[in-house]
Structure 1
């Protein structure tokens, strides 16, 4: 029996408030959502809200060995319903056929990736809360099913707001667990087929730390394949943003990753170097702040507090009165769940 949209949204909202870890939330959410929006396959990924990099995946009915092709399409090829486009929309949901005039073969992703997998219909959604994106949802149907309807897309959009809040809570958790500063970063080099050809001592520890929860034994973690495709697209001039991501590793510690095509590698088709290292407090601060629902003005004050500035200095920097700074701080304390500047700094560092 197909569940009603209202009942489905209530169930998703309740699920998102239970404090589940991210993989469990994503799996259970798909069990609920698929009763109202039946699918033959899906990919529900958690994302770095600043870089939009997909950092962990929950899937069913899809060929995960084609991940590299998906990332090449996302970062280096022209197509419809790209993630960066979805997050800019008022309703961050798109049905491929609606964007291609009913002819999905106009989508390169469909022609070269989804079609050969037996997928006919695709719906993509971003899970957005307070302007920050915490995940991406890809729903698939085969040729024996009808396409996604506008009503189903609207339900996914409503559900995605609740899911974003749940993913945000799961990502931030109880705070920050830092990797020991004494632990040396690792360098991993991938060849043109994304195989590891060089690595520094200790890299195996880092690779286990950033392994996808669904594929922990994959020799090349999927986040490395994503950064490789992004780095090659940047080298080819298709993108300008620096290929990077932050994620909470399997041991709970935060990791920062950066990718770039190596010098003398023969351009975008050559080797890619990826650095894996402990995420620093300045790197994590924007991510954590985006999770507390702070307004832009409150975030500005908070970032200056973390930088060690006084109330008077903050007021001068932002051209506001000290009283306004204090009012914003009271609101920040309430949202973050602390009572003082010292507690705020400790919570975010």
Structure 2
């Protein structure tokens, strides 16, 4: 029996982690929109880049990196970054090419050799920000994705994105004390050629997901490898975008991963350097604020509460009446489930981020 949209969203909403959310969707969605393989990806809402977790169904983990190379370097049809800005963030390859999927480099080089007939893509976005990407695949001999199936996936987009966004406010115990800077170097072909000890330790903390197997014997998750590929794509296009993502380790530790492609003396592109380090609180707080769905004005008030300003002080800075400021603070308290300014600051700025240990304690993996 096919499951309805509301029931599917309800079941997904009970998932206690992004990975469980993807697993629930994978189990339930194929009853309504049948498919043979799929990839579910979380994304950083600020850069639109893939981050953890990623769930791949019936696709080899190392193939996901090859798929993403097409997305970044050669594909022109249904790019996720374009869909993220489109009025309808869902599209099928068959429909977009007028039944001529061979126009797609991804189809010619990746999908067709694997027996794929059609791909349905969706960007999961809320308030204009992408929080996830979905790829559904159908094999040859099966019908292409229909307009009704595209609309069904479109209707899931915002509720699922809102749920993905909400996980940032969930605290997971972060018992580690790593404070070093991890460095990985990838050559022009995207192969890992070097990594320091801190990088190896951070990679050991990564959750399960599609990964590249390297000659160094290190497992590099797609979301880390993806930053190196994105940095190279930006450099090739002489773009000004940033190859940067925030992610969580298995222990709940917030990390930031960013990359840059270096140039040789003659101007040619050289290695791509990827940095992994503990995310500063300034990187984490915006995600937590978004998870609680504070309005822009409520965020303005919250930031000033965190600075210790009084109601009158906030009123003067924001040119609001004290009564309006008090109304905003009351609404903020209700959204976060707190009853005092101290609790508010703790919930947004302290509870989700353990203080760094004294230097004398050293570091441990």
Normalising by the residue count of structure 2, what TM-score does the alignment of the two structures yield? 0.85
Q: How much has 1:70 moved relative to structure 2?
A: 2.7
Q: Does the residue aligned with 1:247 lie in a helix, a strand or coil?
A: strand
C-alpha deviation, 1:269, in angstroms: 4.3
The answer to whether the Cα contact below 8 Å between 2:166 and 2:292 also exists between their aligned partners in 1 is no
Taking the TM superposition and a 5 Å limit, the aligned residue runs for 1:1-349 are: 3=2, 7-55=3-51, 56-174=53-171, 177=174, 180=177, 183-213=179-209, 219-237=219-237, 239-264=239-264, 269-349=269-349
| Cα distance in 1 between the residues matched to 2:339 and 2:155 | 34
Say if 2:246 and 2:254, in contact at 8 Å, map to a contact too: yes
Alignment partner of 1:166: what SS? helix
Question: Contact 1:255–1:276 at 8 Å: present in 2 too?
Answer: yes
Residue 74 (structure 1) shift: 2.8
Deviation at 1:177, TM superposition (A): 4.6
Is the 1:8–1:33 Cα contact (8 Å) retained in structure 2? Answer: no
The alpha-carbon deviation at position 77 of structure 1 amounts to: 3.5
Cα offsets for 1:189-224 (capped at 9, x unmatched): 112233322222332111122354455986222122
Are the structure 2 counterparts of residues 299 and 132 from structure 1 closer, same or farther at C-alpha, using a change threshold of 3 Å? farther
Contact 1:19 1:169 in 2 (8 A): no
Give 1:113 deviation, angstroms: 1.9
Partners of 2:112 and 2:310 lie apart in 1 by: 58
Measure, in 1, the Cα distance between the counterparts of 2:252 and 2:5: 30
Matched position secondary structure for 1:210:
coil
> Is the deviation greater in 268-277 or in 305-314?
305-314
State the number of aligned residues.
344
Determine the C-alpha separation between the residues in 2 that align with 1:123 and 1:348.
Answer: 37
For residues 226 and 266 of structure 1, the distance between their equivalents in structure 2, rounded to whole angstroms, comes to 26
Larger Rg: 2
2:357 is aligned to none
Q: What's the C-alpha RMSD, in Å, of the aligned pairs?
A: 2.5
Q: Residues of 2 paired with 1:132 and 1:157: CA distance?
A: 15
What do the CA deviations read for 1:222-278 (whole angstroms, capped 9, x no partner)? Answer: 122200111001111254211100011112100001100135387674211111111
With 66-75 and 197-206 compared, the bigger mean Cα shift is at 66-75
Contact 1:169 1:291 in 2 (8 A): yes
Residues 210 and 247, structure 1, Cα contact 8 Å, conserved in 2: no
- For residues 13-53 of structure 1, give each alpha carbon's deviation from its aligned partner in whole angstroms, at most 9, with x where no partner exists: 22132142221221121111000100011001122222222
Q: Could you tell me how far apart the structure 2 residues matched to 1:88 and 1:176 are?
A: 36
Q: Provide the C-alpha distance between the structure 2 equivalents of 1:204 and 1:169, rounded to a whole number of angstroms.
A: 30
1:120–1:142 Cα contact (<8 Å) kept = yes
Cα distance in 1 for partners of 2:94, 2:332 equals 43
The two structures have a TM-score, normalised by structure 1, of: 0.89
State the distance in 2 between where 1:238 and 1:167 align.
Answer: 32
Instruction: Quote the Cα distance in structure 2 between the aligned partners of 1:335 and 1:175.
Output: 20
Change (3 A) 1:77 1:28: same
Q: Unpaired segments of 5 or more residues in structure 2? A: 350-365
